[in-house]
Amino acid sequence: MLEAMTRMDNILEVRDLKVWFPVRTGLLAGLFKGEEKFVHAVDGISFDVRRGEIFCLVGESGCGKTTTARSILRLVEVTSGRIEFNEDGKRIDLASATRQEIRNIRPRIQLIFQDPYESLDPKLAVLEQLSEPLRVNKVKGTRQEIMDRVLRALSNVELIPPETFLMRYPHELSGGQRQRVGIASSMILGPSFLIADEPVSMVDVSMRADILRIMLHIKQRGQASFLFITHDFSLAWSIGDRVAVMYCGKIVELATAFDLIRAPKHPYTRALISVVPVPDPTYERKRIILTGEAPDPIDVPKGCRFHPRCPIAKERCKTEEPEIRDAGGDHWVACHFWQDPIP
Amino acid sequence: MTALLEVDGLKTYFRADGEYVKAVDDVSFRVNKGESVGLAGESGCGKTTVALSLMRLLPSNASIQGGRILYEGQDIVSMSDRRLRKTRWKEISIVFQGAMNALNPVKRVVDQIAEPMILHGDVSKPAARKAAERLVELVGIDKTRAKEYPHEFSGGMRQRVMIAMALACDPRLVILDEPTTALDVMTKTQIQQLVKNIQKELDLSTILITHDLSVIAETCEKVAIMYAGKLAEYGDVVSVFKAPLHPYTEGLIKAFPNIRGSRELPASIPGTPPNLLHPPAGCRFAPRCPIAGKECEALPPDKTLETGRFVSCWKR
Amino acid sequence: MRNVSGFWKVYSANRKGVIGLGLVLFFVGVAVFAGLAPFDPSKVDATRTWLPPNRVNWLGTDWFGHDLFSQMIHGTRVSLFVGVFATLISAIIGTMIGLLSGYYTRLIGEFLERVVDFFLVIPYLPLMIVLVAVFEATEIPIPILWIVIFAIGVTGWSGTARIIRSQVLTVKERQFVDRARTIGASDMRIMIRHIMPNVFPLVFANVVLTVAGAVLAEVTLDFLGLGDITTISWGMMLHFALSNNAMYRGAWWWLIPPGLAIILLVMGFTLIGYSVEEISNPRLREKKF
């Protein structure tokens, strides 16, 4: 299993991570104390991010991928499990670290947000957006040195000439430009690990490639490793190194981007990939369209979580939850019958 | 094939501080009977404004400043209010963007679907209810759930309800404005399949408005590409995708990553769309165009080829 | 609206705002130039009591021969002074508590929320009266005027706190707050540099409306005789008028001017408050074209 494979070149190791939220019951229900219900947003996942790679976490909304990202940064509290951040030979478990330890490590792990319209403070100009991380982390330097850092950060995200952007406010920038300012403000502290949560889904299509290219450059220059969260397999195909697919709080498949997308094994992955739209009207393929929708993470189905919608589910799937296993070639699947063809 | 809807030189402007934002500036296309047309473009290109203009549902600060919208020969732009009300929903209906949040939370789903039928007058309440239940089944929801309230439905199911509502008065043309944007890819596909089936079964014409070219490639017969309030290209889906004429179309297609292709970054189009308050005098795409030349400083001609394709470019 | 001139351009287009501002500025002007009043408002003239408006006393005189016109002018000062200072106190308390209870939702937040609810539920008038009466009875050497200001400030903050709290709750969920947290900003910094500026427009509108309320509260306290009897305020004028049966004696000139002035001043602040609210909340704006 994954536990045995702790490597020195993993920058992040997640082991059996669980994030459960208590369900707020109504006033009366709370008085008659019954069973407390939980939202099993993340229900025991394990994966590694290797140094210098772009690791994609793919899944539909509600599968737990965003909660995973937020728990790594301790924006939500972890229920159980380990999140080991491994840098310069030092290991720290983010899940159990103290608030002070988290604050110290913050500059090393940063987040790229989804919404370019919401992730920038509308009252701050670009210069202030970028100098704030430096000020908050008490980075030393003369005013000129700080200014140089800000200008360099803007050039790195291709906002050129950088001087012309300093005094602009978010509402004066396009979505793509705002997203780049967001990336610049995340990069200015020199993090070694970036979590990008749907970084291009709210950016116009013609500007997405720029953002992706900037991220790819960051990776290729060896500046940082990425955890890339998305629902869009085509993005994982374009820039992902390895991909994990989440369903209802669990990882159902994990492999290199090439293997997972060209030869998916889990029936859920196979269905999803078969329906990814392609900008070619002549392309024909058999679409595996699942019925119904993903289950409520409060009342998770017994056995395999996917069995109610699975086209190849059998009796065993209703009672026994499949373990994630190596199906050969470092391609991990959590399915009893992944070898069966889908009708 | 007779045209069910013909848009001819449509101009819709918004008033802002005494000036005009030319959101839709001389757009023409047609929709034949039983045809599905995709209207594509990025944010701000004017496609939603076109949809609202077709049903004359524009906000108070916008107005149609020119052109005609011929539905079965009658011009919607100059139609009387009475005739317009008869046309709305009975002939042309619309499913809005984010429509799933447009449902009345205190009315049962079946009642909301039946409402337009009753309002348009010619059915009794019980007959309308029955017809509504049939529509609920048609959009893939179990009939027993028709009596429930919107909050008991998931996002995908609510979108199906919106489609059922749009079909309530048996229209000939349904406009769908980004009907699946906020939904998961699997739910998106389910809804797309549903719309395709319904279209075939009821011989409907549809106009699908979206920024997602891949969806148009998979579900539409014709496609119109809009840029900065103008029509850049129009034609049948296969020729436009396989051999795009307008440089913007070409750039846009390349900007969509192809999961069946090789592993590479999608392309991007440098620059940003123009300000529609003061659009450039010449071709609106010229500042971002890889093949722009001196002649592009003037508005390009509209060329309609015999094959029915249309492109607005000097170079093609 | 990035700056003052932008704000002014929008504000001046709003008719009620301009009327309100005009009223308030008028009274402020009167208060500032109160020294130009024709008579000393406390000057007593036994020969000229109960006179209706005449050439010497433009608004007539009261039971002691005080010139009512001068009293009205000086009364403006008191109303504005108490209104503004009491509002300052309640705005500061309300904003702090609103910020903290909105930002911290667990222990501190819950506790503060209960405190706010408590104060919201208590009828402010009896509470104010009790506070003033108790303080005056204990004969603390604080001028009664300041006791009044304190009482109004301390009972009037709960509305502000509630509004700010609900605003903070929404702003807190916005992504840029998450961003501030991930770069390592402390809670205090987030509250002051990120949440406050984005909550401010509503706060401003609310504060202006609170001034209107404070002026009314002051008038009420004076009218009930709980204010400083030696200072001349509109409420005091009404207090003396009624306790001397002005109505019965037909001395309309003693009753109407103070009442009218109170109405106009409160209305002025209210109009400003509503128009600022409209401007900062686009949903309230009417579509103008």
Q: What is the pLDDT of residue A29?
A: 54
For residue range A193-203, list pLDDT tens digits in order. 999 999 998 88
CATH 3.40.190.10 for the B3-81+173-312 domain, yes or no = no
Residues of chain A positioned with their CB less than 8 A from the CB of B215: 277
Boundaries of domain holding C192: 15-26+60-282
Subunits adjacent to chain C (3 or more Cβ pairs under 8 Å): A, B
Q: Find out whether the peptide bond into B279 is cis, omega within 30 degrees of 0.
A: no
Q: How many CB atoms lie within 10 A of CB C206?
A: 23
Quickly state the pLDDT bin for C2 (edges 50, 70, 90).
low
Residue ranges of chain A whose CB lies within 8 Å of a chain B CB: 60-61, 174-177, 204-210, 212-213, 216, 231-235, 237-239, 257-258, 261, 271-273, 275-283, 287, 289-291, 293-294
At B292 the pLDDT is 84
The CATH number assigned to the domain holding A276 equals 3.40.50.300
CA distances from A268 to A271, A340, C80 (A): 5, 13, 70
Residue A205's closest CA among A240, A231, A235? A235
ipTM: 0.85
Chains that touch A (3 or more CB pairs under 8 A): B, C
- Whether residue A114 is contained in a domain is answered as yes
- The whole domain housing A217 covers 2-333
Task: Please give the residue that has the higher pLDDT: either A55 or C67.
Answer: A55
Q: In this complex, how many residue pairs, one in chain A and one in chain B, have their CB atoms less than 8 Å apart?
A: 119
Position C179 pLDDT exceeds 70: yes
| CB of B153 closer than 8 Å to CB of B109 | yes
Look at phi and psi of residue C34 and say left if phi exceeds 0, alpha if psi is from -120 to 50, else beta.
Answer: alpha
| Contact between residue B228 and residue B59 where contact means Cβ atoms under 8 Å apart | no
- Enumerate the H helices of B120-226 as residue ranges: 125-138, 155-166, 185-202, 213-219
- Residues of A with CB below 8 A from C182's CB? 73, 75, 106, 110-111, 186
Give contacts of C183 with chain A, Cβ < 8 Å. Answer: 106-107, 110, 132-133, 136-137, 185-186, 189
Cβ contacts below 8 Å, chain B against chain C, sum to: 6
Distance from C-alpha of B149 to C-alpha of B136, rounded to nearest angstrom: 13
- What confidence tens digit (pLDDT) does each residue in C225-251 have? 888 778 888 988 899 888 888 888 888
Number of domains in chain C: 1
Tell me the pLDDT tens digit for each residue of C85-95: 999 999 999 99
**Encoding tokens for residue C13?**
């287009």
Instruction: Work out the burial of residue B214: count CB atoms within 10 Å of its CB; fewer than 13 is exposed, 13-18 middle, 19 or more buried.
Output: buried
Q: What is the maximum span of chain B, computed from C-alpha positions, in angstroms? A: 67
Task: Establish if C286 touches chain B: CB-CB under 8 angstroms.
Answer: no
Whether residue A136 and residue C186 make contact (CB cut-off 8 A), yes or no, is yes
* pLDDT < 50: residue spans in chain B: none
Q: What confidence score (pLDDT) does residue A4 get?
A: 46
- The pLDDT of residue A245: 96
Q: Which of residues 56-85 of C touch B (CB under 8 A)?
A: none
A273, A278, A290: residue with CB nearest B258 = A278
Chain A environment of B232 (Cβ under 8 Å) = none
Residue numbers in A near B251 (CB within 8 A): 206
Chain C residue nearest residue B62, CA to CA: C289
Where residue C128 sits, what CATH number does that domain have? 1.10.3720.10
Please state the domain count of chain A: 1
State the pLDDT at residue C85.
93
Interface residues of B toward A, Cβ cutoff 8 Å, are: 42-43, 154, 156, 184-190, 193, 211-215, 217-218, 237-238, 241-242, 251-253, 255-260, 263-269, 272
pLDDT at A35: 62
| Nearest-Cα residue of chain A relative to residue B221 | A281
Q: Does B15 touch chain C (CB under 8 A)?
A: yes
Q: Nearest CA of chain A to the CA of C44: how many Å? A: 57
Residue C125: the pLDDT is 84
> Cα torsion at B273, B300, A279, B221 (round to 10°)?
120
Nearest-CA neighbor of B69 among B86, B59, B84? Answer: B84
Q: Give pLDDT, residue A246.
A: 96
pLDDT digits (tens, 9 = 90+) for B83-130: 888 888 888 999 987 766 778 888 899 999 998 888 887 788 899 999
- Chain C residues within 8 A of B60 when measuring between CB atoms: 287, 289
Neighbours of chain B (3+ CB pairs under 8 A): A, C
- For chain C, helix, strand, coil in percent to 5 are 75, 0, 25
Residue A53 Cα, gap to closest chain C Cα (Å): 22
Residue A12: per-residue pLDDT: 94
Residues of A within 8 A of C189 (CB-CB) are 136
Mean pLDDT of chain C: 85
Nearest chain A Cα to B275, which residue? A174
For C255, the 3-state DSSP assignment is helix
- In chain B, CATH 3.40.50.300 sits at 3-81+173-312
Give ∠ CA C169-C175-C181 in degrees, rounded to 5. 85
Amino acid at A165: F
CA–CA gap between residue C68 and residue C236 (Å, rounded)? 12
Residue A340 lies in a domain: no
Q: What is the maximum alpha-carbon separation in chain A?
A: 69
Whether pLDDT at C268 is above 50: yes
> What's the mean pLDDT in C162-182?
88
Rg (CA), chain A: 21
What's the confidence (pLDDT) of residue A141? 84
Closest approach of chain A CAs to the CA of C174, in angstroms?
6
Q: Which amino acid is at C262?
A: I
Window C:170-229, CB contacts with A under 8 Å = 174-176, 178-186, 189, 193-194, 197-198
What is the DSSP secondary structure assignment for residue B73, as one 8-state letter? T
CB contacts < 8 A, A to C, total 60
Record the pTM: 0.82
Whether B156 and A293 lie within 8 Å, measured CB to CB: yes
SS (H, E, C) A199-214: CCCCCCHHHHHHHHHH
Give yes or no for residue C269 having a pLDDT over 80: yes
Which one, of C261, C253, C239, C260, lies nearest residue C50 by Cα?
Answer: C253
* pLDDT tens per residue, range A279-288: 999 988 889 9
Q: Binning pLDDT at 50, 70 and 90, where does residue C124 land?
A: confident
Q: CA A336 to CA B202: how far, in whole Å? A: 42
The whole-angstrom separation of Cα C183 and Cα A109 is 9
Q: Is C73 part of any domain?
A: yes
**H/E stretch holding B113:** helix B109-119
Helical spans, DSSP H, in A19-90: 27-31, 65-72
How confident is the model at residue C288, as a pLDDT?
34
State residue C3's pLDDT score.
61
Closest-CA residue of C relative to B18 is: C289
* Residue A292 maps to a domain: yes
Question: Residue A287 is encoded by which pair of tokens?
Answer: 């679409």
Backbone angles phi, psi at C130, to 5 degrees: -60, -45
Structural domain contains residue A343: no
Which residue in chain C is spatially nearest to A187 when comparing CA positions?
C183
Which parts of chain A register pLDDT below 70? 1-8, 24-35
pLDDT given at position C287: 39
Chain A residues touching B260 at Cβ < 8 A: 278, 280, 283
Q: Which residues of A touch B189 (CB under 8 A)?
A: 275, 277, 287, 289
